[in-house]
Amino acid sequence: AERLACIRLLPKAELHLHIEGSLEPELMFQLAERNAIQLPYASVDALRQAYQFHNLQEFLDLYYQGMSVLQTEQDFYDLTWAYLQRSAAEGVIHVEIFFDPQGHLQRGVDFSVQIEGIYRALCDGETQLGISFRLILSFLRHLSEQSAFETLELAMPWLNRIDGVGLDSSELGHPPEKFARVFARCRELGLRVTAHAGEEGPPEYVWQALDLLKVQRIDHGNRALEDEVLIERLRNEQIPLTVCPLSNLKLCVVEDMSQHPILKLLDAGLRVTVNSDDPAYFGGYLQDNFAALLAHLPITDAQILQLIRNSFIGSWLSDSEKQACL
């Protein structure tokens, strides 16, 4: 309990957070009512009951359904503000958050509505809560390359507010190579690049993310452990891995928290960070993820400090901003 209290007090960064995945059932019901949308659940409790997943896709189905209540700029603001308030209370001082524009465009919600709401909350978070931020446009990999290019086109007027791009959604069957040209264009535009890889997908997808997308970090990356040569590559280049313990448990990427590979990844010399991914769906925010590690793994104080330091080192803050945090 004392170690957890210390972790809460330490300044931390979160690098892998889908803002739509921070939509708590209570807020989902509020927004559904505000927008006269009928949810297929009788109550908040009934909705929470449904959060039992056997794999990534089962989660994604509810995640896309859940985000359908997000309609107005104010909805996106309220969503983002709620996440920032919770994070501030846990000692988070820097966040790099994903949003999934295609998940909203498909429902007729303009790009401008999404980004205006999210960005206004992020700015308020910076001034009122002292949380710095980066914003990451994430492409849905189950959609086509063309859809990703169209989304990038819609984002063009807003590139001064977007720091980088990511790649998420259904991993199996949608290898990074599908988006090599989109990511090349994003890099030309000066955007930073990251991609989900090695969550459910094989080590080959991590290789592709590195070699074809030329990513600056890997989101998840658990399955890299199946390939020694890949581990060596990740270590040599100190590629940050944004690992998400509770997410891995809820999506059955690991059988049990005591089986989580995070200490193996750390022991292999990789730049591992701890993140919450979709906290409203996976049973907790950043602090809860640390609590789960402490409860089930023989993690040392030095390892905890390393994970927290890595969250700044692996961030997209400038070198001088990082220095101020380390």
| Minimum CB distance to ligand HPA smaller for 17 or for 93 | 17
Question: CB–CB of 285/276 below 8 Å?
Answer: yes
Is 260 marked as a binding-site residue? Answer: no
- Judged by beta carbon distances under 5 to 8 A according to partner kind, the member of ligand HPA, Zn ion, none in contact with residue 56 is ligand HPA
Question: CB–CB of 4/301 below 8 Å?
Answer: no
Residue 177 annotated to the active site: no
Stretch that binds Zn ion, among 27-35, 136-144, 204-212, 272-280 (CB under 5 A): 272-280
In the sheet with 92-99, reading across from the earlier edge strand, the strands are 12-18, 92-99, 132-140, 164-168, 192-197, 217-220, 240-243, 271-274
The distance of closest approach from Cβ of residue 164 to ligand HPA in the complex, given in angstroms and rounded to an integer, is: 16
14 binds Zn ion (CB under 5 A): no
Q: Could you give the angle at the alpha carbon of 322 between the alpha carbons of 132 and 286, nearest 5°?
A: 55
Task: Give the torsion through C-alpha atoms of 312, 93, 26, 62, to 10 deg.
Answer: -20
| Minimum CB distance to ligand HPA smaller for 56 or for 148 | 56
277 binds ligand HPA (CB under 6 A): yes
The residues near 155 (Cβ < 8 Å, ≥ 6 apart) are 101, 111, 137, 162
The distance of closest approach from Cβ of residue 9 to ligand HPA in the complex, given in angstroms and rounded to an integer, is: 28
- Judged by beta carbon distances under 5 to 8 A according to partner kind, the member of Zn ion, ligand HPA, none in contact with residue 78 is none
Tell which residue, 218, 204, 217, has the closest CA to residue 174. Answer: 204
196 binds ligand HPA (CB under 6 A): yes
199 binds ligand HPA (CB under 6 A): yes
The residues near 273 (Cβ < 8 Å, ≥ 6 apart) are 13, 15, 16, 240, 241, 242, 243, 307, 310, 311, 314
**Candidate residues 71, 151, 222, 247; the one interacting with ligand HPA per rule CB under 6 A:** 247
- Judged by beta carbon distances under 5 to 8 A according to partner kind, the member of ligand HPA, Zn ion, none in contact with residue 260 is none
Question: CB–CB of 54/285 below 8 Å?
Answer: no
| Minimum CB distance to ligand HPA smaller for 63 or for 76 | 63
Distance, in Å, from the CA atom of 181 to the CA atom of 236, rounded to the nearest integer, reads: 26
Interface of this chain with ligand HPA, residues 12 to 51, rule: CB under 6 A: 18, 21
| Minimum CB distance to Zn ion smaller for 68 or for 247 | 247
278 binds ligand HPA (CB under 6 A): yes
Is 16 marked as a binding-site residue? Answer: yes
| Minimum CB distance to ligand HPA smaller for 43 or for 55 | 55
- Please state, as a whole number, how many other Cβ atoms lie within 10 Å of the Cβ of residue 248: 24
Catalytic residue among 90, 116, 199, 200: 199
Is 277 marked as a binding-site residue? Answer: yes
The site for ligand HPA, by CB under 6 A, has a size of 11
The distance of closest approach from Cβ of residue 23 to ligand HPA in the complex, given in angstroms and rounded to an integer, is: 11
The residues near 238 (Cβ < 8 Å, ≥ 6 apart) are 270, 271
- The size of the chain, in residues, is 326
The distance of closest approach from Cβ of residue 196 to ligand HPA in the complex, given in angstroms and rounded to an integer, is: 5
Question: CB–CB of 311/12 below 8 Å?
Answer: yes
The CA R_g of the chain, rounded to the nearest whole Å, is: 18
277 binds Zn ion (CB under 5 A): yes
- Judged by beta carbon distances under 5 to 8 A according to partner kind, the member of Zn ion, ligand HPA, none in contact with residue 198 is none
Provide the annotated active-site residues. 199
Q: Residue positions in the annotated binding site? A: 16, 18, 196, 277-278
Q: What is the contact surface with ligand HPA in residues (CB under 6 A)?
A: 18, 21, 56, 63, 168-169, 196, 199, 247, 277-278
